[in-house]
């Protein structure tokens, strides 16, 4: 199988927490909601001025910078991206690889969802057809999803295209590496974004942490993604009592599991029913088919889906054998169809109800993968279970999982557990977002994440003429559902740039200029 959960928007947060070596803020700044220029200067913090700052440094920040440079006409001197990442796909690429996406594997994204290309043309399918001199990708797009599976681009092509565009817009000149500590309102308007520059090597008494720098900007953009990996209580307890070897998260490095299972027969328990679980299952199956492994796979679903489900015929999702099937994270209409229009009018519980209807754990349907699972069921090396894990313990180098199925408690003995239950979406777990909730006036939306309006302005955080914008997973639950996807990040960036243009802080891009800029993109001309 060749897809991955839309982590677009792990925009750096998994790798963007302030390090322990960051210097604490002086008390007169730490406890103040509004900062005076004089107090910041008195604290010895260097101040650098720039109109626009983006915090995160992953795909969300990259897409925002791309739109500002191409559509908004801003110079590199007018934008700064603050991040611990060295390039936009650093975290995304890592998570894709450890969750078992090969470089040539395909990610879970539409052909025209191109974070390197404002126009979506040529699509990934057209580009692949031209580069490989074959018509297959175009035919697949033509008949998907009725007569063929959805076309999805290769991971390597996405990485290459983003690197190309980053060089074209001079992204590295906008990047400032370090640990972002806080975003605070400034008396008189605008914001101070505090960052401790990143240094190589350990912090010691003779080599102390560098002094923080405050970027004074009119506007700030947050694209910090998920705070980190999700570790369920039973997994955390097991690690505290035993080790990190036998029970792992799908989004952390765990190649040792596959290596051990190739060397000797063993049993692995895979927990979860989404795209990460599908990807891990595919790796285990491929090791059996091609590597000679004799692995026995136990698959634990919290909710077992037996058939198509949904409130009515027009909102029904196919399902079976435990999985809920859907080509992408959301129905396509959330990006520009009826669902997007409908969500724009919903508040409170009404919005929650629609999210409940369209959300949930899903995975794409792939014919070859389904055939392999069926073979596993018939041969007995793949077996599905339904329930939840009550606790895990280690006995004689074997993991004992005590489960609570729908009826009775049972125990499973396995060699390894691979947990595929996803990523941590609690905004309180991200220090910058937590600080904004406490000091910046930020509020929560009906699903508990950042409350943004339809222009992706963070409500309650206005500072004079300044605005804070937010995009990505941290805004899930807002008026636009597909926020944590490539296309969702592009739509958010488009809305932000349009709002900036309306405020007189960047250019509008009309049809003539859009055509000119596309030719610059197509020819690789640096801007």
Per-residue pLDDT of the chain (527 residues; tens, 9 = 90+): 433 333 333 444 444 343 444 667 899 999 999 999 999 999 999 999 999 999 999 999 999 999 999 999 999 999 999 999 999 999 999 999 999 999 999 998 999 999 999 999 999 999 999 999 999 999 999 998 888 888 999 999 999 999 999 999 999 999 999 999 999 999 999 999 999 988 776 766 666 778 899 999 999 999 999 988 888 889 999 999 999 999 999 999 999 999 999 999 999 999 999 999 999 999 999 999 998 999 999 999 998 998 887 777 777 888 899 998 888 887 888 888 888 888 888 999 999 998 888 888 889 888 888 899 999 999 999 999 999 999 999 999 999 999 887 766 789 999 999 999 878 888 999 999 999 999 999 999 999 999 999 999 999 999 999 999 999 999 999 999 889 999 999 999 999 999 999 999 999 999 999 999 999 999 999 99
- Cross-strand pairs, 410: 403
The partner residues of 200 in beta bridges, in order of sequence, read none
For residues 387 and 300, the answer to whether their CB atoms sit within 8 Å is: yes
CA nearest 527: which of 74, 119, 60, 158? Answer: 74
- pLDDT recorded at residue 514: 97
pLDDT at residue 201 in the model: 67
Instruction: With H, G, I as helix, E, B as strand and everything else as coil, classify residue 463.
Output: strand
pTM above 0.95, yes or no: no
The DSSP bridge pattern shows strands 398-404 and 388-395 to be: antiparallel
Measured CA to CA, the distance from residue 20 to residue 196 in angstroms comes to 11
Residue 206: per-residue pLDDT: 67
The pLDDT, as a whole number, for residue 23 is 65
- What pLDDT was estimated at residue 330? 79
Yes or no: say if 483 and 489 are a contact pair by the CB < 8 Å rule. Answer: yes
Shortest CA distance to 84 belongs to which of 212, 213, 176? 176
What's the CA gap between 95 and 364, in Å, rounded? 19
Write a three-state SS string for 190-220. CEEEEEEECCCCCCCCCCCCCCCEEEEECEE
Task: Find tokens 């073979």 and name the residue.
Answer: 375
* Torsion angles phi and psi, residue 162, rounded to 5: -70, -40
The C-alpha atoms of residue 276 and residue 335 are separated, in whole angstroms, by 23
- Cis geometry, peptide bond prior to residue 432 (ω within 30 degrees of 0): no
* Structural tokens at position 280: 């891990």
* 253: exposed, middle or buried (Cβ count in 10 Å: 0-12, 13-18, 19+): exposed
Nearest to 197 by CA among 212, 181, 184, 208: 212
DSSP string covering 303-338: S-B-S-B-SSGGG-B-EETBEEB-SSSS-GGGGTSH
Contact present, 277 and 271 (Cβ < 8 Å): yes
Are the C-beta atoms of 11 and 58 separated by less than 8 Å?
yes
d(CA 65, CA 76): 9
pLDDT (0 to 100) of residue 242? 95
CA atoms within 13 A on the CB side of 469: 25
- Any idea what DSSP says for residue 24? P
Which residue in 173, 172, 161 sits closest to 522, CA to CA?
161
Rg (CA), the chain: 24
pLDDT reported for residue 407: 64
Q: What pLDDT score was predicted for residue 252?
A: 94
What is the distance of C-alpha 374 from the center of its chain? 31
CA 448 – CA 185 distance, rounded (Å): 23
DSSP bridge partners of 183: 193
């Amino acid at each position: 199988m060749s897809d991955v959960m839309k982590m677009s928007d792990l925009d750096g947060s998994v790798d963007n927490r302030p390090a322990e070596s960051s210097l604490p803020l002086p008390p007169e700044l730490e406890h103040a909601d509004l900062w005076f220029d004089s107090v910041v200067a008195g604290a010895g913090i260097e101040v650098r001025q720039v109109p626009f700052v983006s915090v995160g440094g992953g795909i969300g920040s990259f897409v925002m910078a791309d739109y500002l440079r191409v559509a908004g006409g801003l110079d590199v001197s007018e934008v700064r991206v603050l991040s611990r990442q060295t390039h936009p796909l650093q975290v995304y690429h890592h998570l894709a690889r450890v969750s078992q996406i090969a470089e040539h594997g395909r990610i879970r994204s539409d052909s025209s969802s191109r974070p390197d290309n404002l126009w979506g043309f040529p699509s990934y399918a057209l580009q692949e057809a031209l580069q490989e001199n074959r018509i297959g990708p175009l035919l697949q797009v033509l008949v998907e999803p009725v007569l063929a599976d959805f076309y999805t681009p290769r991971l390597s092509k996405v990485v290459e295209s983003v690197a190309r565009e980053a060089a074209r817009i001079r992204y590295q000149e906008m990047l400032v590496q370090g640990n972002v500590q806080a975003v605070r309102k400034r008396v008189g308007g605008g914001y101070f974004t505090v960052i401790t520059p990143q240094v190589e090597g350990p912090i010691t008494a003779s080599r102390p942490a560098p002094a923080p720098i405050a970027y004074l900007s009119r506007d700030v953009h947050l694209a910090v993604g998920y705070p980190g990996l999700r570790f369920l209580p039973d997994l955390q307890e097991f690690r505290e009592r035993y080790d990190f070897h036998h029970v792992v998260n799908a989004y952390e490095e765990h190649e040792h599991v596959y290596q051990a299972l190739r060397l000797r027969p063993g049993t692995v328990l895979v927990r979860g029913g989404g795209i990460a679980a599908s990807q891990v299952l595919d790796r285990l199956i491929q090791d059996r088919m091609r590597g000679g492994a004799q692995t026995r796979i136990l698959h634990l679903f919290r909710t077992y889906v037996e058939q198509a489900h949904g409130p009515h015929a027009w909102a029904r999702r196919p399902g079976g054998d435990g999985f809920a099937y859907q080509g992408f994270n959301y129905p396509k209409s959330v990006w520009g169809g009826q669902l997007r229009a409908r969500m724009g009018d919903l508040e409170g519980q009404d919005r929650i109800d629609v999210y409940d209807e369209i959300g949930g754990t899903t995975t794409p349907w792939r014919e070859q993968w389904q055939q392999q699972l069926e073979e596993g069921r018939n041969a007995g090396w793949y077996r599905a279970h339904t329930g939840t894990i009550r606790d895990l313990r280690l006995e004689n180098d074997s993991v004992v999982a005590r489960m609570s199925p729908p009826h009775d408690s049972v125990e499973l003995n396995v060699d390894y557990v691979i947990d595929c239950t996803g990523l941590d979406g609690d905004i309180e777990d991200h220090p910058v977002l937590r600080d904004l909730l406490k000091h910046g006036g930020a509020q929560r939306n009906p699903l508990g994440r950042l409350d943004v309006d339809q222009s992706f302005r963070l409500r309650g955080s206005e500072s004079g003429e300044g605005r804070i914008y937010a995009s990505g997973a941290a805004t899930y639950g807002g008026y636009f559902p597909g926020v944590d996807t490539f296309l969702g990040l592009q739509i958010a960036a488009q809305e932000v740039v349009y709002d900036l243009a309306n405020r007189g802080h960047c250019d509008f891009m009309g049809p003539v200029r859009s055509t000119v800029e596309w030719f610059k993109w197509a020819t690789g001309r640096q801007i």
